[in-house]
Amino acid sequence: MKTKIKLVIILLSVACAVFFAFRGQLAEAQTKTETAGQKFKNIKVLTDLPADQLGKVMNLFTADLGVDCSFCHEGENFEKDGKKPKDDARKMIKMTMAINKDNFNNRPQVTCNSCHNGHHEPQNVPNLNPVPEPERPAQPTTKPTVDQIVDKYITALGGAAKLSKITSRTIKASRIEPDGKTVEPETVWFKSGKYVASTTYGKIAVTEGYSGTEAWKRGENSFIDLKADEAEQIKREAELFSPANIKAIYPTMTYRLLDRIDGREVYVVTAATASNVRETLFFNVLSGLLVRRSTSTQTMFGIFVYQVDYADYKDFAGIKVPTTIRYSMPGIRWTRKILEVKNNGPVEDVRFAKP
Ligand code: HEC
Ligand code: HEC
């Protein structure tokens, strides 16, 4: 009898522990993923979307439909209803979620882009004069090793010995907006593992940086909230100042295939950082140089790609630096044109600390 009671008590306490552990997990899950429905003012269909995906999803909408925010919204009053396309979009969101639920086990296989493909009015007539897809180049009989690709890259930049002598860098650049006309002056500073870029929009300066431990971004009077993936990219800018360390930046690198970008052959390498952020690196086969880097974040409405293209490598005191850097994401694009590079000039450490 006594042992039976004991057993009941033990079972009860286990049950309680499990119950509280479960409640703890629930509470944790809830505080961890705030939903768009909780964070924003007038959400009727994207209620369960993680709040930190909303910005990316809106940018995907603009790119998928080939429009800008004002197609659906009135100025900055994003919570306001009244524009027909916003109403239409709500119906479309429900439809897209239903298609994925009914057919693809809730995986976001069909997205706005599947039908819209860059147009707000989808095309229901097949293209009668299609441009044939370029064929993949023939694959090499012996695959290059990651070591060979990396060695060629370091040599193409000027060699490990010369690279190791660069301890700081100051760059004057222009940020060119997609219209090709709007140009903002930029200054970029590097020191081993640290980075700061300051862009001046009229009279307002926006500065982003990585202190060696912390990524930050600041407007004129306040800090701008960084999502984890945005902070990660600011950190990567700092790390790639020392490209000779590329194997330390990406402890895992795997050769995938030979492909083409703009008609030129590239080796495609998948890479993962120590914290397991996955990126894809593209090295020009002939020159050995890194020409593209991309990373992607899955959202409920498709993949948000962050892509950086490096072009026009020029020699600065024996070291090659890409002087045209194109940043592209759904709905967001700009180009950094490097005008002046100064190696090993004085750069104060305090510049990189979160101000
Ligand atoms: C194709 C139409 C469409 C485009 C383009 C679009 N949005 Fe939206 N947006 C919506 C819809 C629909 C909602 C409401 C979703 C809901 O009710 O669940 C919304 C909601 C929002 C909200 C939440 C507002 C609140 O507090 O309730 C923000 C912020 C927002 N959009 C920003 C943007 C930005 C910034 C852009 C441009 C990068 C953009 N949107 C482009 C359709 C669009
Ligand atoms: C299965 C195909 C399909 C998918 C997926 C789809 N749409 Fe559409 N969408 C259409 C079609 C077809 C029309 C045109 C309807 C018409 O003309 O009556 C349309 C029209 C629209 C319109 C009105 C356009 C205008 O010119 O006023 C908006 C806005 C829109 N879609 C947004 C979206 C968004 C946002 C998504 C993703 C959440 C999406 N659609 C997903 C097929 C699709």
Structure tokens, 40? 């924003």
Cα(202) to centroid(ligand 1), Å: 27
Tokens 């009077």, residue? 221
Same domain assignment for residues 103 and 189: no
What is the chain's pLDDT, residue by residue, as a tens digit (355 residues)?
344 444 444 444 434 333 334 334 444 444 568 999 999 999 999 999 999 999 999 999 999 999 999 999 999 999 999 999 999 999 999 999 999 999 999 999 999 999 999 999 999 999 899 988 888 899 999 999 999 999 999 999 999 999 999 999 999 999 999 999 999 999 999 998 999 999 999 999 999 999 999 999 999 889 999 999 999 999 999 999 999 999 999 999 999 999 999 999 999 999 999 999 999 999 999 999 999 999 999 999 999 999 999 999 999 989 999 999 999 999 999 999 999 999 999 999 999 999 8
For residue 36, the model assigns a pLDDT of: 97
Residue 18, in any domain of the structure: no
Cα(230) to centroid(ligand 1), Å: 20
Same domain assignment for residues 251 and 313: yes
Residue 268, in any domain of the structure: yes
Q: From the CA of 63, which ligand is nearest?
A: 1
Cα(40) to centroid(ligand 2), Å: 23
Cα(27) to centroid(ligand 2), Å: 37
Same domain assignment for residues 231 and 189: yes
- Amino acid, res. 229: D
The reply to whether the predicted model has a pTM over 0.85 is yes
Decide which of 116, 138, 163 is a domain's last residue. Answer: 116
Decide which of 95, 116, 137 is a domain's last residue. Answer: 116
Helices (H), 47-193: 54-65, 84-103, 112-116, 146-157, 160-164
Ligand 2: which atom is nearest the Cα of residue 84?
A: 27
For residue 31, the model assigns a pLDDT of: 52
Cα(89) to centroid(ligand 2), Å: 7
C-beta of residue 207 within 8 angstroms of C-beta of residue 220: no
Among protein residues, the one whose CA lies closest to atom 22 of ligand 1: 78
Structure tokens, 46? 């994207």
C-alpha to C-alpha distance for 205 and 237, rounded to whole angstroms: 19
Structural domain count of the chain: 2
Q: Which of 72, 84, 299 best tests ligand 1's pocket when mutated (most atoms within 8 Å of CB)?
A: 72
Ligand 1 contacts CB of residue 43 (under 6 A): yes
- Return left, alpha or beta for 13; rule: phi > 0 is left, psi -120 to 50 is alpha, else beta: alpha
Ligand 2: which atom is nearest the Cα of residue 97?
A: 38
Residue 21, in any domain of the structure: no
For residue 230, the model assigns a pLDDT of: 94
Cα(250) to centroid(ligand 2), Å: 40
Among protein residues, the one whose CA lies closest to atom 37 of ligand 1: 69
For residue 30, the model assigns a pLDDT of: 46
Using the 8-state DSSP alphabet, how is residue 53 labeled?
Answer: G
Residues with CB under 6 A from ligand 2: 61, 65, 85, 88-89, 92-93, 96, 110, 112, 114-116, 120-122, 301
Q: Which residues contact 292 (CB under 8 A, 6 or more apart)?
A: 261, 266, 280, 281, 282, 307, 308, 309, 310
H helix or E strand, kind and range, residue 239: helix 228-239
C-alpha to C-alpha distance for 264 and 38, rounded to whole angstroms: 48
Domain that holds residue 63: 37-116
Ligand 1 contacts CB of residue 44 (under 6 A): yes
Same domain assignment for residues 65 and 165: no
For residue 54, the model assigns a pLDDT of: 97
For residue 10, the model assigns a pLDDT of: 40
C-alpha to C-alpha distance for 177 and 180, rounded to whole angstroms: 6
Ligand 2: which atom is nearest the Cα of residue 111?
A: 5
Among protein residues, the one whose CA lies closest to atom 3 of ligand 1: 72
Residue 268: CATH number of its domain:
2.50.20.10
Among protein residues, the one whose CA lies closest to atom 17 of ligand 2: 121
Residue 75, in any domain of the structure: yes
Q: From the CA of 113, which ligand is nearest?
A: 2
Same domain assignment for residues 344 and 219: yes
Tokens 């590097």, residue? 190
